[in-house]
Amino acid sequence: MKKHNFSAGPCILPQEVLKKAAEAVVNFNGIDLSLIEISHRSKEFVDVMENARSLVKELLNLPEGYSVLFLQGGASLEFLMAAYNLMKINGKAGYMDTGAWSSKAIKEAKQFGEVEVFASSKDKTFNYIPKNYTVPTDVDYVHITSNNTIYGTQFKEFPKTDSLLVCDMSSDIFSRQLDFSKFDLIYAGAQKNMGPAGTTLVVVKDEILGKTGRTIPAMLDYQVHISKDSMFNTPPVFPVYVSMLTLQWLKDLGGIPAIEKINEEKAALLYAEIDRNPLFNGFAAKEDRSLMNVTFTLANDDHKEIFDKLWNAAGVSGIKGHRSVGGYRASIYNAMPKESIQVLVDVMQQLEKEI
């Protein structure tokens, strides 16, 4: 029996997507060739790329003037590409430090200019989203991380700024309704909510590019990738294909409005148990709780052995917390069925009976 997969990333994908992907590796669309052994310039693959790019625009409801790219190098490469493409020579950027991924983005950006960290939640192991901050106005862009995968916090309101707004949405893209046109650059590693590891989604407003005065190496230049329709070099064909299937699955389900409702129900089920059950404590501040990554700890560490035994026996997988937080983290991305969350809730209730 398939396990209940709460892995933080790479993570759960819809079953039907996995089946179609497996078929395509053997015989793609009945052409008697594998998806991964045909030219990326073939009509068959160009169609996949174009379909994936247009599904992103449709699902995010993007206005004209945005380009969609499927790049490589993970969200980690975007930490520096964003700065390389947007920070002017002798420029400055404003960052919010809300977790390990933000901190890494800050470190990379510092190689290109001045970075002002105008808000941080580091003082409390990133268990909240800062609220009363002043956004600097003398910056080329402002950078935030919409969902903090490790700590289980998520922005509900975004900073207001007249500068460009850049967002790492790796772990919550396509999970909730937002006005995506408020953002000038969005990036997301595929392996949290869209597909397998190996491609990074980049959504960028065309008019913001080419204004830094820098010479950018071709592979790191968004404009180069845009001019080649995301095919400047061989794209990661399999991750792009599986991402396309997941986006199609999401569209068939009713798109982001439909999944948002399901995600809210799923998260509410688990948080309600964390709040009700005296054996558990939530890690993240209540008002900032993530709908994607639910972090919690045992009130009494003596119960660890028996709790671990119970969830293992129930077929639950991947809920061990990140080493910097400890405890547990249940990642409940788009593809996670509500039934799996109910299994985890049942196990938490079983613990009460067993001790």
Ligand X SMILES: *Cc1c(COP(=O)(O)O)cnc(C)c1O
CB of 59 to ligand X, least distance (A): 19
Is 75 annotated in a binding site? The answer is yes
- Of 170, 199, 230, 290, which one interacts with ligand X (CB under 6 A)? 170
Alpha-carbon distance of 325 to 53, in angstroms, equals 36
Q: What DSSP letter does each residue of 160-206 carry, written as one string? A: P-SSEEEEE-TTTTTSS---GGG-SEEEEETTTTTSSTT-EEEEEEG
- Judge whether 311 counts as a catalytic residue: no
The pairing of beta strand 147-148 with beta strand 164-168: unpaired
Of 28 and 151, nearer to ligand X (C-beta) is: 151
Is 101 annotated in a binding site? The answer is yes
Of 239 and 255, nearer to ligand X (C-beta) is: 239
Residue 225 makes contact with ligand X by CB under 6 A? no
- Of 91, 189, 236, 327, which one interacts with ligand X (CB under 6 A)? 189
Cis amide prior to 10 (ω within 30 degrees): yes
Residue 3: other Cβ atoms inside 10 A = 15
Q: By CB under 6 A, which span of 30-38, 72-80, 112-120, 264-272 interacts with ligand X?
A: 72-80
Residue 75 makes contact with ligand X by CB under 6 A? yes
Q: Cα 24 to chain center, whole Å? A: 25
CA-closest candidate to residue 193, choices 123, 249, 269 = 249
Burial of 17 (0-12, 13-18, 19+ CB in 10 A): buried
Residue 95: both structure tokens together: 């960052």
Element (H, E) at 281: strand 280-282
- Judge whether 249 counts as a catalytic residue: no
Residue window 117-136: x/- pattern of binding to ligand X, with contact defined by CB under 6 A: --------------------
Residue 145 makes contact with ligand X by CB under 6 A? yes
Residue 149 makes contact with ligand X by CB under 6 A? yes
Of 11 and 244, nearer to ligand X (C-beta) is: 11
- Judge whether 192 counts as a catalytic residue: yes
Contact in structure between 147 and 172 (CB atoms under 8 Å): yes
Residue 255 makes contact with ligand X by CB under 6 A? no
Of 8 and 348, nearer to ligand X (C-beta) is: 8
Contact in structure between 23 and 337 (CB atoms under 8 Å): no
Q: What DSSP letter does each residue of 50-104 carry, written as one string? A: HHHHHHHHHHHT--TTEEEEEESSHHHHHHHHHHHHHPPTT-EEEEEE-SHHHHH
Of 172 and 184, nearer to ligand X (C-beta) is: 172
- Measured CA distances, 140 to 67, 73, 90, 137, 177 (Å): 20, 24, 10, 9, 27
Catalytic residue among 192, 205, 249, 288: 192
Alpha-carbon distance of 335 to 355, in angstroms, equals 33
Residue window 77-116: x/- pattern of binding to ligand X, with contact defined by CB under 6 A: ------------------------x---------------
Is 246 annotated in a binding site? The answer is no
Residue 239 makes contact with ligand X by CB under 6 A? no
Catalytic residue among 168, 172, 221, 288: 168
- In the annotated binding site for L-glutamate, the residues are 41
Q: Which residues here bind ligand X, judged by CB under 6 A?
A: 9, 74-76, 101, 145, 149, 168, 170-171, 189, 192
- In the annotated binding site for pyridoxal 5'-phosphate, the residues are 75-76, 101, 149, 168, 191, 233-234
Which positions are annotated as active-site residues?
Answer: 101, 168, 192
